[in-house]
Structure 1
Amino acid sequence: MQNKILVSACLMGHAVRYDGRAKPLLHSAIETWQAEGRLVTICPEMSAGMPVPRPPAEIGNGATGEDVLAGTARVVELTGRDVTEEFLQAAMNAVALARQAGCRYALLIDGSPSCGSGFIYDGTFSGRKQAGNGVTAAALKAAGVEVFSDHEIERLIDRIAQ
């Protein structure tokens, strides 16, 4: 049995991002994995009932997804609305789906306060990036799923080949 890969729905061309867009990742490996039935698609935020489009959200005060999971940081929309509970639910949904489907790996869109794994935004809504994980990426890593950003697809290919 081949290992399954949890993948951000926006990378698969679904218009589910906060701005109502997709961000398709066009790569032959995606096509191969899809044909093999290895991809399990999720938009964590939509799984938690968040609408599309929705206001942009960031983890506040330069914190990370791990901090949100620990209860020491919040996720806030540009409007000021606290959406921490929705992001925590989204992360739990992603972990549950990964476990149910047998996903050993995750390929997630970088920069998102949910799916970011290489970088996230610093919580100031100024476009400044910082190293860190979003809430879902942090939860998946804590659950033992190996997380790769969309910029790391070659590394994921190599990892799967091992």
Structure 2
Amino acid sequence: MQDKILVSACLMGHAVRYDGRAKPLLHPAIEAWRAEGRLVTICPEMSAGMKVPRSPAEIAGAATGEEVLAGTARVVEVTGGDVTAVFLLAAENAVALAKQTGCRYALLIDGSPSCGSAFIYDGSFSGRKQAGNGVTAAALKAVGIEVFSDRDIERLIARVAHDT
């Protein structure tokens, strides 16, 4: 049986981002993996009950998803609302789905306070990026799932080919 790949729903063309849009990743590998039945799609935030559209959120204080998981950082909306609990539930849901479906890899949208893996925003809502993981990416990595950003699909392709 081939290893499955957990994929951000927005990358698959679903309009689930905070702004009500999708960010489809059009790539031949995606189509091949879809045909092989290897893709498992999730929007962690929606799985935890968040609506579309929703207020933009960032991890406060230039912290990372690991710090949110450790209880030392929060996820806040631009309006000031604390959505940490929802982001923690979203991460739990993604980990549970990945485990249930045999996902060894995850392909997640970068920049998100949930799915970012190469970069996230610094919590100032000014557009400043920083290296780091979102809450879901950090949780997936913590249980041994290899996480790749949408900008790093070529590395995922090589990794999947190596293990096939």
Amino acid at match of 2:130: Q
Aligned to 2:33: 33
Distance in 2, matches of 1:66 and 1:132, equals 9
CA distance in structure 1 between the aligned counterparts of 2:50 and 2:63, rounded to whole angstroms: 22
Which residue matches 1:79? Answer: 79
Deviation at 1:161, TM superposition (A): 1.1
Structure 1 consecutive aligned stretches of length 4 or more whose deviation exceeds 6 Å: none
The answer as to 2:143 corresponding to 1:143 is yes
| Cα deviation, residue 7, structure 1 | 0.1
Unpaired runs of at least 5, structure 1:
none
TM superposition score normalised by structure 2: 0.99
Secondary structure of the structure 2 residue equivalent to 1:99: helix
Q: Deviations over 1:110-156 (max 9, x none)?
A: 00000000000000000000000000000000011000000000000
1:109 aligns to 2:92 (yes or no): no
Q: Give, in whole Å, the separation in 2 of the partners of 1:43 and 1:143.
A: 19
State the match for 1:157 in structure 2.
157
Opposite residue 151 of structure 2, the aligned amino acid is H
Instruction: Tell me the secondary structure at the aligned position of residue 87 of structure 2.
Output: helix
Unaligned runs of 5+ in 2: none
In structure 1, what is the Cα distance between the partners aligned to 2:95 and 2:143?
7
For 2:32 and 2:160, the matched residues in 1 are separated by: 13
Residue 21 (structure 1) aligned with residue 17 (structure 2): no
With normalisation by structure 1, the TM-score equals: 1.00
> Is 1:132 aligned to 2:137, yes or no?
no
Root-mean-square deviation (CA, aligned residues, Å) is 0.2
SS in 1 for 2:37: coil
The yes-or-no answer on 1:94 pairing with 2:57 is no
Offset of residue 46 of structure 1: 0.1
